[in-house]
Structure 1
Amino acid sequence: MGKERISGWQFFLLTVNYALGTAFFIRPGSMIASTKQDGWIIPLVAGAFAVLVACIWILLANANPKLSIIQISLKVAGKPVGGLIAIVYIWYFIQTASWVTRNLGDFMKTILMPHTPITVFHVMFLLIACYAAIRGIETIARTSELLTPFILLVLFVIYIAALNEWHGDRLLPMFQSDLIKLMKDSAPVIGFPYLETITILMLAPYVKSRFKTSLLLGLIAVTLLLCGIVFVTIGVMGAARSSHLLYPLYTIVKELRIAEFIEHLESTIVIVWLIWIFLKLCIAYFCAVEGICQLFQLKDRTWIAIPLVLLVSGLAISLNDNVVANIDWDRRYIFPYSCLFSIVLPLLLLILTWIHKQRQKGKELSP
């Protein structure tokens, strides 16, 4: 870990960029498809649940200060069991990086360069992520701090320009879904992107201050941004059309016209998404590399980061390229799968932390 440190503000930006990296473009269509005009409510329900889960993460981090989730596992569960938990988390980080890489490849091949082999996109971005992981979390945090204002500026301009096409009657009728249906439809969104943010706990030792505040405010900002994009998408395109699009925001920008002569602005939104994917991939890749180094007590990240490019690229290629199958897997399994890493294991580690502290107190009191 060395002397690397990031501020609470940088950690806040990393949390927002990590959670929104792919969800901002992929999730709106599925949320609208499930609840139509009430799709904008789903991020609010999912965000509220995520904040509660984040309190578990904060308790775990506070009980084990200056330790990552890999180090916590090794400390409170011992080397055999803790090592197994650490390997499970490292696998999850690698798998997340492969999902992000595949999302990038699918978008580039489907929308921009259909004749280019998808592996080219994977390797191109993974090599940059590899270099960023070697350079360390400070470099990634500063890159995030530099690029985030550009992302927000582009999104703000798009929001303002889309107001000409926004019609409130497309949001009617509202509140047609009951609470049970909203909670059921919110489960996939809770799984991705909210519970996936457990990866951020790998960065806890690097945060100078305000870890708790930055994490909670980051999740709240993610909730508001997701709610806003779904609200705008429904108002501009209508629930029926939006629900059938894989990338509704891209379609909005593609059809947007400003002052009757400025059109085809989709290149701007492509740049924004590539930046977001790049930041999320760098964070997930760094956490995977750092997790391996912490597990095996390695000081040099270089020789772990380089071969990991091949593993992540291979996993990204092996993922199911059937869109219907991916949607079905997301709807059925993403929530329980994410719960294992984000709720079950953290609660187990929290209990083991309490037991570990009780044993330490007992040893101190014994003569």
Structure 2
Amino acid sequence: MITDPLAQQLIFFICLLATTATLAWGAMAYPLRIAPRASGYFSVANLFLLIGVILTSQRSSDPSYLYWPIANIMILMGFLLLRHGTQRLFRLKSSIKTDCVLLTVFTVLIALQEPGPQSNQIVGILFSSMAALSFLLLAKDNRIALAPSLNLTFILLLLSPIIVLAFIFTLRTLLLLFAPSLGSHMANLQSADAIPMLWFFVMMTLLVNVVMIGNALTRLVQKIRLQADKDYLTGLWNRRAMHQRLALLHQCWLRDGKTYSLILFDLDYFKEINDNYSHAAGDHVLIQTATELSKVIRAIDTFSRYGGEEFLIILPATDAQQVAIITDKLRSKLNSSPVIWQDNAIPITASFGTATVSQLDTPETMLIKADKAMYRAKHTGRNNICSAT
């Protein structure tokens, strides 16, 4: 076997990069516990890439299932695990069944080829096409995950390394189809002919992990941003997020005339619950109120904790008649859902005020109208519904 010093150095560098990435992602998974499942997938993905490169570097003219088909399968499994780590990181729907089918098809096709340099072209075409598909699917998952928080320009910028890798593997597939002689550089990774491919492996290992680190940071920012908009106790939107969503909905009303309504309600006798049963019981009442009423409102509605024992619901595309029906359902739901605390059933009722947008309204006047209606409901007997109109 004729070896090239530069090729050997590049193989060592690739292995060093993959080993470092494996250990780093493993440390993030445990003991640091930073996105542990996703980090675990990324660690194992780099491990498979490391093993695949080591096995590939041992190829010679002798046929060997270990150094030829198994090496390719290991690298491809690493690519697919990167995708599953991304799905776990962003809580996307798992594609494990589809990927298992793709991997099985690839394994069967490659197993039909005789292991050795004589099958370079066919195996190279199969491997490159599957690798290109893996990176395209990885790019798709990233686009879906990033779309809610970033515009298309930034998404394309962040995904450019993955798109470049998919393009290179696609180009390699086409070259092997129309120029079979180019496949000879994979026969021996330690030869001078393999140096361009080794540089590509270096770039690929770096780019893949840079993208994954970028994904982890993006997910961290998303979680911080989400926590800043959520109430720590109930998990509902907080007052800050509510004002932002109300302002946005009001702009739609001014532009398109899309009617919306508000429901502001205050739990009745909440101070007595704290005094008689403890503040822990009061917290439990707030949590159950948020949980039970979340089952009633629509997915398009914004349910927020307005402050203390007050809650606000923003209802897009809802007129005065519709908001009255929805509010009555909420009141009935509360009445039928007492809180069980230390073998005591605590009845829960609330006073509801509703308001539907009209000409000359602003977000501030809408809140004032709903607040006045709610206090009118309290002053007329509690467990009641009053409309601002």
With normalisation by structure 1, the TM-score equals 0.26
If each structure's strand is expressed as a fraction of its own residues, which one has the higher value? 2
- TM-score, normalised to structure 2, is 0.25
Hey, which of these two has a bigger chunk of helix by percent? 1
